[in-house]
Amino acid sequence: MEINIFNDRDLSWLSFNKRVLDETLLDDLKIYDKIKFLAIHSSNLDEFARVRLAALESMVGESSPEDRQTNLKALYDARREVYNQSLASRKILEQVVLPELRNHNINLYYGDSVYLDKHYEEILHIFMSKVLSYLQPVIITSHTNVFLEDRMLYFLLHVDAGRRLNDLKIVLNIPANSLPRFFTLSKVEDKNYIVFLDDIIRLGIQSLFKNYEFKGIYAIKINRNADLHVDDDTDDEEDFVEVLQRGLDLRKTGAPSRFQYDATMPENLIQFCHQQFQLEEGEMLPVGHYLSSSDFFRFPNPNGSSLVQSAWTPLKHPSLLLYGNYFNAIGSQDYLLNFPYQSYDYVLVFFNLAVLDQDVTEIMATFYRVAQDSHIVNALISAAKNGKKVKAFVELKARFDEANNLHWANQMAKAGVEITYSIPGIKVHAKAALIKRRENGKEKKYAFFGTGNFNEKTAALYSDMGLFTSNPDLCNELESMFQYLYKRQQPEPFKHLLVSQFGSLEKFVELIDNEIAAARQGLPSGIIIKVNNLEEEEVINKLYEASQAGVPIQLCVRSICRIKPGVPGLGENITLIRVVGRYLEHSRVFIFHNKGQQAIYLGSADWMKRNLRSRVEVVFPVYDEAIKKQVLDFIAIQFTPATKTQLLSSSLETQEWKEGVQQYCSQEAFYNHLKRQQVQ
């Protein structure tokens, strides 16, 4: 029987999301951190439904006869796993989260809970004074076209309006986009009470319309296809912006990809929804009384910090002064920063100094996901207003950040920043900046290369790395890449940077081939890779070849992972781990034994088809020996058997470690490692 040598892309991502949900079951995690992971899991499923379920539906619709069954199975399997995880999330909420909240004197009215008399009146007051004006009921008739907005919450009301009227079916919005999803009620006997907005509306409408019999009040929610199909085959940036704007408008009316409804809804109303909202049967998932657990991000915490894990104060770099002369420091050596373990302020100061320094003549930067209130963009605006030459490449096709990126691009352009937008058919995912400075009558260049976006918000949540350097080889090649972005000027072959579109895939294959050759000659070899996603089949096949040649391969893959480790005759020399903790693992690290002269690269590129073939990514080498050791120390901690380091089987199931497991999280161990360096 032929063995499938690749894991399913979507099921592998869903296994990661299941691991996120499993964080809520850890005894050592405080209750509001469990609630945070519950919300993250729900938010992730929403995005998966809007993007991947929609894509799988499209694949089925466009399938050739020979591929249709395969694509149907992929869609069915993904829907089934989404449904199972939704049920698991509800079970954890009811059996883990709510009881633990009660142990801390925090009571959430839930389901059939009986209101205290005091709270009954209080809820009706909130309904009349704060909620009622936001409600927009729509009676469904044969002439009514009700459109459910993506991710918005609604009730489907089944109402007996009396003898003169037939039963009414009414769609009523739950305005959680305008009001808090949760309201805090008065304390009773030193106990805190919280109520869903949903239940305020349930109680309020029944009290307001006492002459009507409410046969049922059922929560419903739809996810719509959010993938933008933007025709960017134009070099006219104004035309592209117009096309993008139309695409953003069309996204709001995308086809349904998932419809969730209260599991107590009767069959006749399920069929009514099926027809009224033009749904496919497989898109309809019975879940629970309450939908959108992502709203638990804003669940009230009356007890404060005692119910949340203590924050780790961002550390200072042991040798780079936060408010020192960066250009003198970076001019003499490279510096590696690990965010958010170490302060992201170093990056902000780097840009701010470039604005204030009279010898800085030019600033260039790429932007993929811009922060809502970006300090870095504001620094560039200030630089342009002060007469410096500033160029910014802003990727307008960054999914779900298109509008925000366009807003900031417009703000920069108004200030005099030279803005370049998306390249037709390609996304620019590189994270880099270049600063030119006059020194002793000559031009000197300084660069920052990152694994994560220039985004202060995500920098506090994602684990990333950044390199400050004045290495002429790296700076000159970075400028060559910028010339390509700004002028579409074909660069000379890159000898140091690995740039997607310009030989990075071929270089990765060459590096793996070198390890294969060494292993076959009986020489030491080894490959260590840390990425968010591993999906590119050419690379996976090359890793299988390396494993079969005897090359020891260590992989740390966060999300999508199509490789199968440990399979005899295929991947028996491959070890695969996953790390989930307080920070989202986001850095990409590539290490090759290289005959004892370890070749180490960091960068923005995952090993996915899109990253290596249809994006512009920058992967940069680490040349400084001290920084190489820093990276190797980080990797050694990541791969140490620990409580939150998951050893994965070929089917991505958790395996038991053969050796003793350290009773700590690798992220905490790495933070403490950096903290010890800081005080030496």
Residues 63 and 147 in one domain: no
What is the CATH classification number for the domain harbouring 36?
A: 1.20.58.310
Model confidence over 17-74: pLDDT tens digits? 999 999 999 998 999 999 999 999 999 999 999 999 999 999 998 988 888 999 999 9
Q: How many domains does the chain have?
A: 4
CATH number at residue 291: 3.30.1840.10
Q: Is the pLDDT of residue 613 over 50?
A: yes
Q: Are residues 479 and 507 in the same domain?
A: no
Let me know whether 538 and 603 are in one domain. yes
Binding residues for ATP, as ranges, are 44, 462, 558, 586
Q: Which structure tokens are listed for 502?
A: 């310009």
Q: Pick the catalytic residue: 429, 496, 593, 673? A: 429
Do 112 and 195 lie in a common domain? yes
Quickly state the pLDDT bin for 165 (edges 50, 70, 90): low
User: What average pLDDT does the segment 469-493 reach?
Assistant: 95
Is residue 486 located within the same domain as residue 528? no
Tell me the CA distances in angstroms from 549 to 51, 67, 88, one per residue in order: 38, 34, 42
Among all chains, which residue has been given the structure tokens 């986001």?
586
Is 236 inside a domain boundary? no
Nearest to 55 by CA among 198, 229, 264: 229
Which conformational region is residue 441 in: left (phi greater than 0), alpha (psi within -120 to 50 degrees), or beta?
left
Listed range (151-160, 186-195, 227-236, 553-562) with the worst mean pLDDT = 227-236
Quote the pLDDT of residue 656: 87
Contact 325, 74 (CB under 8 A): no
Positive or negative, the Cα torsion across 453, 454, 458, 462?
A: positive
Q: Which tens digits make up the pLDDT trace of 194-221?
A: 999 999 999 999 999 888 889 999 999 9
Binding-site residues from annotation for Mg(2+): 369, 399
- Kindly report the CATH number assigned to the domain that includes residue 341: 3.30.870.10
- Mean pLDDT over the full length of the chain: 94
Query: Which tens digit of pLDDT belongs to each residue from 379-397?
Result: 999 999 999 999 999 998 8
Using one digit for the tens of pLDDT, what is the confidence trace for 176-193? 999 999 999 999 999 999
Q: What is the pLDDT of residues 256-271, one digit of tens each?
A: 999 999 999 999 999 9
- Pairing verdict, β 418-420 and 389-394: parallel
Q: Is 41 a residue of the active site? A: no
Any domain includes 428: yes
The beta-carbon contacts of 538-541 under 8 Å, at least 24 apart in sequence, are 538/505, 538/509, 539/505, 539/508, 539/509, 539/512, 539/607, 539/612, 540/5, 540/6, 540/607
**Sorting pLDDT into bands at 50, 70 and 90, what band is 1?**
very low
Q: What is the mean pLDDT of residues 88-115?
A: 97
243, part of any domain: no
Instruction: Give the pLDDT confidence score for residue 2 in this predicted structure.
Output: 55
